[in-house]
Amino acid sequence: MSPRQKRLLMVAALITALVVATALVLNAFRSNLVFFFTPTQVANGEAPQGKSFRIGGLVVPGSLQRETDGLKMQFAVTDQAKTVQVHFQGILPDLFKEGAGVVAQGMMQADGRFLAKEVLAKHDENYMPPEAAEALKKAGHPVGTPEQFQKAPTKP
């Protein structure tokens, strides 16, 4: 091969690699986006079936019920307008509290329950998960001041 051909070959290899990488990245990106829905949107049927998404809002006080094994549980999440029943199996984060903000990620079941795979409430007690705050605001019940939202600890 002449140096010119070699160079051409290298450029071609480079471009192929970049195209493959881009395709890979964009494909992974598209199939792994997790969208957020408020309880009102879920109640209106806007949330997708058979695809994982996040909901957020306040945990309805007194709604947490555990089964005897201590692992399976359900609680209600509300944006003060509509309420969604969330089922979860596992250990709740330390900051999970009734009446406090929460975000759960999971899937809608055929019977209208939301089965959470993950429950997020991992910041300090003043902190409202931004999605939960957003859900309340959209439903017309904003909680707390913007300053409060900034109180999230600086995770190092």
Partner 1 sequence: MTSELGHLALALAMLCGICLAIFPSLGVWRRDARLMSMASPAAYWQLLLVLLAFICLVESFISHDFSNQLVANHSNRDLPFWYRVAASWGSHEGSMLLWILMLAAWTAALAALSGNLPQAMRARVLAVLGAVSIGFYLFALITSNPFDRVVPAPINGRDLNPLLQDPGMVFHPPLLYMGYVGFAVAFAFAIAGLIEGRFDSAWARWVRPWTNVAWAFLSLGICLGSFWAYYELGWGGWWFWDPVENASFMPWLTGTALIHSLAVTEKRGNFRSWTVLLAIMSFSLSLLGTFLVRSGVLTSVHAFATDPTRGVFILIFLCVVIGGSLSLYAARAHKVHASQAYSAMSRESMLLANNIVMVVAMLAVLLGTLYPLILDSLDMGKISVGPPYFDAVFLPLMLPALFLMAVGPLARWRDAPVLPLVQRMRWAFAASLVIGLLLPLTADSSYKPMTALGLVMALWVAGGVGLATLENMKSPSGGIDVSRLALQPGSWWGMQLAHLGVAAFVLGVTLVNSFEIEIEKKLSPGDVLTIDDRLSLRYAETSSRQGPNYEAIQVRFELLRDNQVIGELRPEKRRYKASSMVMTEAGIRRSLLGDLYISLGEAVDGGWVTRVQKKPAVNWIWMGVLMMGLGGFWAAADARYRKKRVPSSNTTAMDVSSRSGEVSG
Footprint of partner 1 on this chain (CB under 8 A)? 3, 6, 9-10, 13-14, 17-18, 21, 24-25, 28-29, 32-36, 54, 66, 69-71, 90-92, 94-95, 105, 122, 124-125, 127, 130-131, 133-134, 146-147, 149-150, 152-156
Smallest distance, partner 1 to C-beta of residue 127, A: 8
Smallest distance, partner 1 to C-beta of residue 58, A: 17
30 vs 111 by CB, closer to partner 1? 30
How many Å from the N-terminal Cα to the C-terminal Cα in the chain?
53
CB contact set of 52 (below 8 Å; sequence gap of 6+):
34, 105, 106, 107, 117
26 vs 112 by CB, closer to partner 1? 26
27 vs 110 by CB, closer to partner 1? 27
90 vs 99 by CB, closer to partner 1? 90
Q: Is the dihedral of CA 75, 128, 93, 105 positive or negative?
A: positive
Q: Which residues of 38-72 are buried (b: 16+ CB within 10 A; e: fewer)?
A: bbbbbbeeebeeeeebbbbbbbbeebbeeeeeeee
